[in-house]
Structure formats: C-alpha cells, structure tokens
Amino acid sequence: MGKVFVDGWNVVQTLGEGTYGEVQLVVNSSTNEAVAVKYLDTRKEASAANNIQKEIFIHRRLKHEHIIKYYGHRDESPIHYIFLEYAPGGELFDRIEPDVGMPLPKAQKYFFQIIKGVEYLHSIGITHRDLKPENILLDKNDNVKISDFGLATVFRHNGKERILNNRCGTMPYVAPEIFSRKYKAEPADIWSCGILLVVMLAGELPWNEATADCREFLLWRASDFSITPWTKIDNLALSLLRKILCYSPSKRYAIKEIKEHLWCKKFLTHKGTVKWSGDTMFFKRLCSDLEPNSVFREESGTKMSYSQPVQSLRDSDDENDLPGNISTLTTGVSFSQPVDPDNMILASQFSASQMVSKASLPIGTRLTRFCIKSKPETVFLELKNAFEKLGHCWKQCSPGLVTVTTQDRRKMQLVFKVNLITMSEKILVDFRRSRGDGIEFKRHFLKIKELLSEIIDKQPLIGVPCSAVFDI
C-alpha cells in the first residue's frame, strides 16, 4: 500500500535525502499530476524549525518566470510538507558534459535566464546563497527555474541592507569573502553565477575553494590562464568572467554591468551565427576596450536572523495557480493503492523540489540512464562487477534499487541511486544523484557506462513502453 496525503494522491517513490528529511514523489491517480513533496522533520537539528520556517516564508513570496513556483505548505508538527512546481526538463547539470560543457548558445541562454532570476531575487531583497547546477531546473520549454531556497535569506528590508555573516553554500561556488564571515549578499550570488558560467562553458569547476589554500584559485588571482578551464573558454567570455569573478566584491560586476557586456550583447544561434543587439559603433568601442587574454554549510550556533518579522505560514494566495486539486494536499492523511506502473518510470526522472505532468515528460529527457537487453539477474551482476571494479561501495536498499557511495575528485562524498526498471523486453538502468556534485556524478556515471558499453542497447529510449518495476 502506498501512503497518500489525501484520497487520490499517492506517494510513489522517495526521490532524495536532505538535511532535515527527504523528498517524495506524489502523483494524482486520476489526473496524473504529480508533486515532489519536501518532507522536513524539525527534530533533526535544533535549528531545523527556524530554517524550515524561513525557507517557507521566503519561497512563498517568490513569483517570477525563472523561479520554481511555490504551491503550498502543510504543517503536521514536527513534520512539514512543501509542495512545489515541477520542471520537466530536469537539472542543469544533466545538460553539461563533463570536461566539455555545452554548446555556446545554450550556455548563453541559460546564463541570461539565471541572471534574470537572480536579479529578481535581489530586487525584493532575497539572496539565494546556493546557486549551482543542481539547483537550476529546466521547464518543458527548456527555460531556467531556480530552485531550493533552503539557504536563502532576506538581506534588504524597507531599503535597509544588512551585512551577512553565516558561512553557507557549496564550497566550489562560494565567493571568497564568505569565508571571512562578513559579506554583502548581491556580489556573493553574482560570484556563484560566474562559477555556473564556467561550468557550462568548460564542463569543470575552476577550483575546489576560493581561498589561499587552493593553487588554482591563486593562479586565477595572478591572471594566469594557462590551465583548464580557462584554456577552453574564448577571450570574450573570459573577459566577462574576469569581471564577475573579481576578488574584490566592490569591484565585481553588478548585474546591470553584466547585461551590458559584449558577450551578453552577442547572441549566438544554434548554427553558430552571431546576432548583435544595439548599434555597431557601440560594439566597436566595446571591442577596443576588451581586456587582453592573458555543500559545505557551517552552523553558527545562533538563531537565524530576519530583516523582517516571520509572517504566518499559509498556502499560495492564488488558487488559480494551483494545478488540478493540489490544494487538497494541505489537509488530511489517508491510504491508497499506488498509481499505475507507468508513473514509476517517471519517478526515476524527478529530483528535489519538482512537480510533473505525465504527458509533458519525454522518457529520454535525462542522460544518466541506459537500457540493457538481458535478464535482470544478469544486469544486476554486471552492475555489481562495475561498482567493485571502480571501488564503489554499494547496497541493495530494496527490490530494484541500489545505493552507491564513493568519493569524487575533491575527496567529497558522492551518493547516487540506481533503479532497475523493466521496459518491454529491456531493463532500464536509471541513475539519480542523491548527494554530491552533479558534474562529478556524471563523471562516475560515464565510467560505469563505459564498463558496460558492450551490453548496453544502442536504441533510443523514447517511445519504449514501461510495463512494470522489476524486483531483483
């Protein structure tokens, strides 16, 4: 029997784990609408209640085309449930090829949209503080949706800005001033946007941390661009990154200046054609001025500070924004049968803070999956051999589900799950990151895929029906 929040809404699958709980997929058995529910337990840590309250308070205020939509919250203390929009395009990191990146037009498009979303957040006094590919989702039209506001905070209220002092974020994306514990919100987010751009253009992080202990960062500060990822990035993009990843927050480009940079004024088409915005003389002047080419989180032990009072928490004010009868999710608990097996294949494509319409999600959206024409027992054995050859720890958590634990190149923990699902005469092997860096996760996926290359089915996944979830 599958748990549901109300009649007709079925808990299909656990999607991931977090600091205070987990994310579960909930599907409406009648309409096929589905919600990724953030299941948060205030008993996990002493500060959990304040942090969860803060996330809800902030996210319910946000309404922008490039911000994941908040639908509602239900409080069953000590458990809280947050219901959010689904972006069927998946996570940004899934579009990034390790050590390669993505096509320039795509990187430019996503970067513009991320900047627009961050500009909106800053305009209402909110800072995200954990911008990274795993927190950038894509909707059905391939447009950016910024998600996960667990570390967000209010930094400006009634025109008065406060200096922040909580060290938080994901290490490679954290601005250098954050390590000093006193920093301004906007330049710190802009720095993270710059790291995002590097990852999209080059498929790798520039450094492990922006501190004096990191050789790669010191080379960057010394304007030494002789190593990767800088050797992969063209001069125009590099000139922009030098302004965004400027060590001094006061000299770092603001969003307005980023939007006026030549790289942002030059629009690239998918065929490589260049289009310009503005008069040609303006661009000639800009060209002549170009510079030459040459998830930790520390708990402070204090209460989270607010620049305005915490309002009472309630659901979305606009019921017209709610898909189907999702408003019923905010009350009641009942039990029901799981949805049809087709929804199980969808479940493997969802990540934290997402909602889905079954009809809108093609089966080939995600890249971290493949099919094998073989018996399930054989597939499981081949996976086991691959894990052991790579030195990965693995554990069969439930029928058809394996959890793999390893370390990435930065010696940080990386955890991902592997689902085995029957699809007609094939077995779909679906990989989903649980913890750790998304690009590192893809590197490990590609290594496993290479080891199994001789038995992987080369046919595309799109259009292959799902018959059932296979129990190993």
**295 lies in some domain:** no
Residue 62 sits in the same domain as residue 125: no
Active-site residue, from 7, 99, 130, 139? 130
What are the mean pLDDT values of the chain's consecutive 10-residue runs (472 residues total)?
59 64 74 79 82 91 94 87 80 91 95 98 97 90 94 95 94 96 96 98 96 96 96 96 98 97 77 50 39 39 33 36 50 29 31 36 57 89 94 89 90 90 85 87 93 86 41 37
Domain of 247, CATH number, reads 1.10.510.10
Residue 382 sits in the same domain as residue 411: yes
Residues of the domain holding 64: 2-87+319-360
Residue 356 sits in the same domain as residue 392: no
Residue 64 sits in the same domain as residue 171: no
- Would you state the pLDDT for residue 288? 37
- Would you state the pLDDT for residue 6? 58
- Would you state the pLDDT for residue 352? 35
234 belongs to the catalytic site: no
- Would you state the pLDDT for residue 3? 57
Instruction: Give the 3-state secondary structure of the chain.
Output: CEEECCCCEEEEEEEEECCCEEEEEEEECCCCEEEEEEEEECCCCCCHHHHHHHHHHHHCCCCCCCECCEEEEEEECCEEEEEECCCCCEEHHHHCECCCECCHHHHHHHHHHHHHHHHHHHHCCEECCCCCHHHEEECCCCCEEECCCCCCEECEECCEECCECCCECCHHHCCHHHHHCCECHHHHHHHHHHHHHHHHHHCCCCCCCCCCCCHHHHHHHCCCCCCCCHHHCCHHHHHHHHHHCCCCCCCCCCHHHHHHCHHHHEEECCCCCEEECCCHHHHHHHHHCCCCCCCCECCCCCCCCCCCCCCCCCCCCCHHHCCCCHHHHHCCCEEECCCCCHHHHHHCCCCCCCEEEHHHCCCCCCCCEEEECCCHHHHHHHHHHHHHHCCCEEEEEECCEEEEEEECCCCCEEEEEEEEEEECCEEEEEEEEEECCHHHHHHHHHHHHHHCCCCECCCCCCCCCCCEECCC
**398 lies in some domain:** yes
Domain of 45, CATH number, reads 3.30.200.20
pLDDT in tens, 399-441: 788 999 999 888 889 999 998 888 778 899 989 888 888 889 9
Residue 454 sits in the same domain as residue 335: no
**343 lies in some domain:** yes
Residue 169 sits in the same domain as residue 274: yes
Residue 127 sits in the same domain as residue 269: yes
pLDDT in tens, 70-127: 888 888 888 888 888 877 777 898 899 999 999 999 999 999 999 999 999 999 999 9
